[in-house]
Amino acid sequence: MTIPFYVPPEQQMKDRADFARQGIARGRSVVVLRYRDGVCFAAENHSTTLHKISEIYDRIGFAAVGRYNEFEALRVAGIQQADLRGYTYARSDVTARALVNAYAQVMGAAFASADKPFEVELVVAEVGAPGASDRIYRITYDGSVFDEPDYAVMGGVTEPVEERLALGFTPDADVQGAVRLAANALRATAAADAPLEVALLDRTRPGRTFVRLAPARVAALLEGWAR
């Protein structure tokens, strides 16, 4: 009888965590930060059709790094859950917290028992009426959830990006200030001319608050600004 190869549980968890982190680190960085009128999302993205940033529901946005097919499946599942809850109860009953709990359970279960963990990291953000009620949640590959008070960084080498955000962040910044800060932070590890994908959860918009900024609008907001 063949004796199965034994791996200590702690070593197995470490190997799975290292595998997931390496996959996520190969992706280009994403920044999510609060500003005066909502939440700003920005990512280095060379594709114009494969988005890292998307709308989930009226006041909820989604950003991800890692394997595209995996986070796209999670995004679609989140939209379906939000639509079902909004249809069954009321649109106001759809919250980022409920979506985050669902994502954490799925990703945690995959990390513990599936053939491989998700090679993704997610941010789910919700804009409220007053600025104090904005929420930014970061969900890691193992289902851990972090409630980020001001900003979140995922993918690539995060330390220099976080340092630039910490130096320049202010919750009272306007949209131009927020986009410039996000671009400056991302360019800590990216080329100065790297294409940016930018979107907002803008509380001043009635109904659906998500708006994706066209490249021309992003260029206009960055015009005359030096890195």
pLDDT of residue 2: 63
pLDDT digits (tens, 9 = 90+) for 160-213: 999 999 999 999 999 999 999 999 999 988 877 889 999 999 999 988 999 999
Q: How far is it, in rounded angstroms, from Cα 31 to Cα 196?
A: 11
3-state secondary structure of 147: strand
Superfamily of domain 27-222: Aminohydrolase, N-terminal nucleophile (Ntn) domain (3.60.20.10)
Residue 48: band (very low, low, confident or very high) from pLDDT cuts 50, 70, 90: confident
Q: How far is CA 73 from CA 55, 64, 84, 120, in A?
A: 14, 11, 17, 11
Query: Residue 143 region, left (φ>0) first, then alpha (ψ -120 to 50), else beta?
Result: left
pTM, to two decimals? 0.92
Q: What is the mean pLDDT of residues 111-122?
A: 90
**pLDDT, tens digit (0-9, with 9 covering 90-100), for 141-175:** 999 999 999 999 999 889 999 999 999 999 999 99
Give the start-to-end residue ranges of the domains of the chain: 27-222
pLDDT at 17: 86
Per-residue model confidence as pLDDT tens digits over 54-66: 999 999 999 999 9
Please give the Cα distance from 211 to 101 (Å, whole number). 25
* Strand ranges across the sheet with 120-126: 53-57, 60-66, 120-126, 135-139, 145-147
* SS3 category, 134: coil
Band of pLDDT at residue 6, cut at 50, 70 and 90: low
Could you tell me how many helices (H) and strands (E) the chain has, helices first? Answer: 6, 10
